[in-house]
Amino acid sequence: MNLALLLLLAPFLGFLFNIFFGKNIGKTASGIIGTGTVVLSFALSIFFFLQINQSHQAISIQLFDWIQISNFKVDFGFLLDQLSILWLLFVTGIGSLIHLYSISYMHDDENMHKFFAYLNLFIFFMIALVIGSNLVVLFIGWEGVGLCSYLLIGFWHKNQDFNDAAKKAFIMNRIGDLGLLIGMFILGSLFSTLDYATLKTAIAGATDLNIYWISAAAFALFIGACGKSAQIPLYTWLPDAMAGPTPVSALIHAATMVTAGIFMITRLNFLFDLAPDVQNIIAIVGSITALVAATIALVQTDIKKVLAYSTVSQLGLMFLALGLGAYEVAVFHVITHAFFKACLFLGSGSVIHALHGEQDMRNMGGLKKVMGITFITFLISSLAISGIPPFSGFFSKDEILLVAFEHNKVLWFIASLASLMTAFYMFRLLYLTFFKEFRGTAEQKSHLHESPSLITFPLIVLAILATIGGLISLPTNSWLNAYLAPLFTKTATEAHHFGTTEYALMAVAVIGGIVGIAIAYAKYIKQNQLPAEDAAISGFAKVLYNKYYVDEIYDYLFVKSTNSLSRFFRDQVETTLSSLVFGLGKVTNEIAFQGKKLQSGSIGFYLFAFVLGLCAIVTYLFLAQ
């Protein structure tokens, strides 16, 4: 128990230390402390993993009461089971690597200690999210990682554009958070608990389940997941979030935080299984997101933007798997994706580092020669994400496509199309960045260099993982499925029956990937094309380049309308209300003023009033009865 707490609190202690003393102890020291705490957590995660892999017994910790609700109470409780430990492993593992990477990457920044503090805080919240034993503790982590994302996207806070991006990320996440809250409220009132274990038994034991409300809860939770995991319609924050330093993009916006939605849905799989309508929605949203994001990624020229949309697209695939009830497949893809996408981001970070902040691919090229390690790791990851065997992405993506084919051909087609595009844009990225001649300025060229070993080491590790990561769940003999089996109610983990269809599908997927690569090769190597300048883009490409104008539409529909409503309220309604109140005063004043005129001073008039008053009083007293 104490070790579990240490696992949770180590990054938090690192955060406290760095925020209070980080400035005084020097950059490297604060980086080492930040990294060390996460490595400690990672070690503890391994410890718990080994423990649980043997005992198959979940560890549950209750700390103290937190929130008291009439029909239940929420406590600080933690649950270490297969799922949470799996997540812990790659969160802290990749976290450690990225911390390590950051020591070098952020070394020039004056606020490096803060950077590490925030990263540590993020890891802390992520751990809380993962190991919380109930939805509210999950919510702490959920909001906490959102906060860290806000802090880290806006890390260079002097640039208001970055701050805008940070704010946007936080607020869009909060829209999802509201959904999560609503889902919690429905669950709370239905089952009087928010604890996963009790919830599971309550649902399993219930005889008359109200499917309508359960579906509502599942849908609300899905909205929450949409926000955090950047699905349509709440995905636009993620590409903007690339404003943050690249390690942040790798850690938060590719590998860990954005998978929180998938974690939550997997966690509550027993609930989602009861709501097939919601599952359908999830699958459809996931596949559409995958396709839309992939199309946008086709034409982006900012290296990080391409990766960002690629992330959205991959997350869409995961949601597709979730929607089809194949939770373990989604988890599998989460893990492999974490490896190769972190690697890709870190690799792009390495490139950006070498080019001193240049992110536009049109100004890159030919880096293969100078940045060998970066190139190779990048290539491996690109192959992995494109689904080329034997790299890890092939296995996970293939499983998703298989599941989709089993359920719905249209979804399969969309997903396949998205993967084909993935292969194309990834290799477009690769070719534009690393092949041909360097297109940047001469000054940049003179500084080109391979990154230091602190940067390349994580790249190598991640590339290895991206290569062999597929081993944990081979199509016929899946360790992962067996490991996760206790979590799921449905026995969907049965090994696929491998027949001709499956092999054919696999072949189609691989061929699709190769076709994508080939098109990219033809276009950018053979024909030596370059993406057009911003002004020269036209037609559908322009729509894609401008991301379907979704940002503009949202801006117009929500931000502008809210702002003009606000202005209307401020200028019209407020003044009206205010003048109504003043109006009351004015009416009183006016009555007094008019009444004053009655006091004309004319004795004759007074006497009349007197006599009439006398009449009235006498009538009232003696005659009215």
Q: Are 199 and 187 in contact (CB under 8 A)?
A: yes
Q: Of the listed pieces 284-292, 489-497, 518-526, 570-578, which binds other proteins according to CB under 8 A?
A: 570-578
Which two structure tokens, joined as six digits, stand for 232?
A: 């349509």
Q: Of the listed pieces 78-86, 91-99, 328-336, 595-603, which binds other proteins according to CB under 8 A?
A: 595-603
Single residue of 81, 177, 195, 240 touching other proteins by CB under 8 A: 177
Give the total of residues touching other proteins (CB under 8 A): 71
CB 560, min distance to other proteins, A:
12
CB 430, min distance to other proteins, A:
36
Neighbours of 610 (CB within 10 A): 11
CB 1, min distance to other proteins, A:
18
Q: Of the listed pieces 48-56, 85-93, 416-424, 616-624, which binds other proteins according to CB under 8 A?
A: 616-624
CB 593, min distance to other proteins, A:
12
Distance CA 194, CA 211 (A): 18
Q: Of the listed pieces 156-164, 238-246, 327-335, 487-495, which binds other proteins according to CB under 8 A?
A: 156-164
CB nearer other proteins, residue 67 or residue 206: 67
Single residue of 32, 171, 454, 492 touching other proteins by CB under 8 A: 171
Check residue 486 and report its DSSP letter.
G
Q: Does 555 bind other proteins (CB under 8 A)?
A: no
Q: Of the listed pieces 92-100, 153-161, 480-488, 529-537, which binds other proteins according to CB under 8 A?
A: 153-161
Closest Cα partner for 344 from 426, 256, 265?
426
What angle is formed at CA 333 by the lines to CA 299 and CA 520, rounded to 5 degrees? 30
CB nearer other proteins, residue 153 or residue 351: 153
Single residue of 62, 477, 529, 619 touching other proteins by CB under 8 A: 619
Distance CA 100, CA 370 (A): 22
Q: Does 581 bind other proteins (CB under 8 A)?
A: yes
Distance CA 331, CA 484 (A): 9
Please, which residues have CB within 8 angstroms of residue 226's CB and are 6 or more apart in sequence? Answer: 176, 179, 232, 233, 234, 235, 261, 285
CB nearer other proteins, residue 53 or residue 575: 575
Q: Are 466 and 393 in contact (CB under 8 A)?
A: yes
Binding mask 500-529 for other proteins (x = CB under 8 A): ------------------------------
Q: Are 320 and 404 in contact (CB under 8 A)?
A: yes
CB 173, min distance to other proteins, A:
9
The backbone torsions φ and ψ at residue 60, rounded to the nearest 5 degrees and listed phi first, read -125, 135
CA distances from 87 to 102, 261, 275, 315, 347 (A): 22, 12, 25, 16, 23
For the segment 1-30, give every residue that binds other proteins (CB under 8 A).
19
For the segment 257-296, give every residue that binds other proteins (CB under 8 A).
none
Say how many Å lie between the first and final Cα of the chain, rounded: 87
Single residue of 6, 29, 46, 182 touching other proteins by CB under 8 A: 182
For the segment 42-71, give every residue that binds other proteins (CB under 8 A).
64-70
Q: Are 475 and 494 in contact (CB under 8 A)?
A: no
CA distances from 284 to 310, 416, 525 (A): 18, 14, 36
Q: State the alpha helices, DSSP H only, in 132-251.
A: 135-153, 160-191, 196-205, 211-228, 237-240, 246-250
Q: Of the listed pieces 169-177, 402-410, 460-468, 493-501, which binds other proteins according to CB under 8 A?
A: 169-177
Which two structure tokens, joined as six digits, stand for 38?
A: 């996460």
For the segment 387-446, give every residue that binds other proteins (CB under 8 A).
none
Q: State the alpha helices, DSSP H only, in 440-523.
A: 442-447, 453-468, 479-484, 500-520
The backbone torsions φ and ψ at residue 209, rounded to the nearest 5 degrees and listed phi first, read -85, 140
CB 475, min distance to other proteins, A:
41
Binding mask 97-136 for other proteins (x = CB under 8 A): -----------------x---------------------x
For residue 59, the cross-strand partners are 80
Q: Of the listed pieces 377-385, 438-446, 464-472, 560-568, which binds other proteins according to CB under 8 A?
A: 560-568
Distance CA 147, CA 237 (A): 14
CB nearer other proteins, residue 261 or residue 393: 261
Q: Does 602 bind other proteins (CB under 8 A)?
A: yes
CB 15, min distance to other proteins, A:
12
Which two structure tokens, joined as six digits, stand for 302?
A: 């900012």
